[in-house]
Amino acid sequence: MKLGPAVNTRLTPLVDEVVTGFSRGVDSSGTTPGRFHHHIGYTLLSPARNGVYLLEFELWSNQPGLGTSRPIWLLFGNNVPQSELEAAATWVRFNLWQPTCGGDLNADGAVDNTDFIAFVEAYFTFACDPPGCPADFNGDFVVDAGDFAIFAQQYNDFLCP
C-alpha cells in the first residue's frame, strides 16, 4: 500500500502477519477547514499471493479535544471467489467490529423510534450487500425475523450502555 511519498509504502509480506502502518498529515486550512480529500491507492507488489487482505485505518487529529475515530476496515481479495470475501467480512464483523450499541442505528446514544424506522426500511429491502449492514445483527447478509428479534430486545432496553 502506498499513500503519499515513497516512505509511506508497505510491501506485501510473504507470510500472514501484521504490518505496521504509517501516519499521513493532512492540511485542512483550505476553503473548508476540518475537511480533507484523499484517494487511497493500493497495489499488491510481487510476489503478490492470492488471498484476502485486510487494511485497518483510523483517523486522528492533533487538535485538542478531538479523539481517534473508530477503526475503518478495507477488505479486498486477490484472485479469490466472492464467497471467501463474504466469509472474511463475517469474520471481521464478529472478531473486530465492536459496536457500542448495535440497535442504535443513528448513533445518538439510544435505541428509539428513529432507529426503528431505519430498521424497518432495511427489513423491507431484505438484503444486505456484503460485508453486511448495520441492521443485519446476526451477520447472515439479510435483514429478517432473526434480526428483528435481536433489535426488539435492544429497542426494549432503550439506552445504550
List CB contacts of 139: < 8 A, sequence separation 6 or more.
Answer: 90, 93, 94, 132
The H-assigned helical ranges of 10-78 are none
Residue tagged 448495535 (cell numbers): 102
pLDDT, residue 35, reads: 62
Residue tagged 503519499 (cell numbers): 4
Rg of the chain (C-alpha set): 19
pLDDT, residue 56, reads: 81
pLDDT, residue 79, reads: 92
The CB-based long-range contact list for 117-123 (8 Å cut-off, 24+ gap) reads 119/143, 119/147, 119/148, 119/151, 123/147, 123/148
Domain annotation for the chain: domains and CATH numbers:
1-98 (no CATH), 100-161 (1.10.1330.10)
List CB contacts of 151: < 8 A, sequence separation 6 or more.
Answer: 103, 111, 115, 116, 119, 135, 137
pLDDT, residue 11, reads: 67
Q: How far is CA 34 from CA 38, 41, 71, in A?
A: 13, 22, 19
136 burial type by CB count under 10 A (0-12 exposed, 13-18 middle, 19+ buried) = buried
- In this prediction the pTM is 0.55
Residue 149 main-chain phi, psi, to 5 deg: -60, -40
Per-residue model confidence as pLDDT tens for the chain (161 residues): 555 556 667 666 667 777 777 666 655 555 655 566 666 667 777 777 888 888 887 777 777 887 777 778 888 889 999 989 888 887 887 777 766 677 888 777 788 899 999 899 888 766 676 555 778 887 777 888 988 998 888 888 776 66
Q: Is 9 helix (H, G, I), strand (E, B) or coil?
A: strand
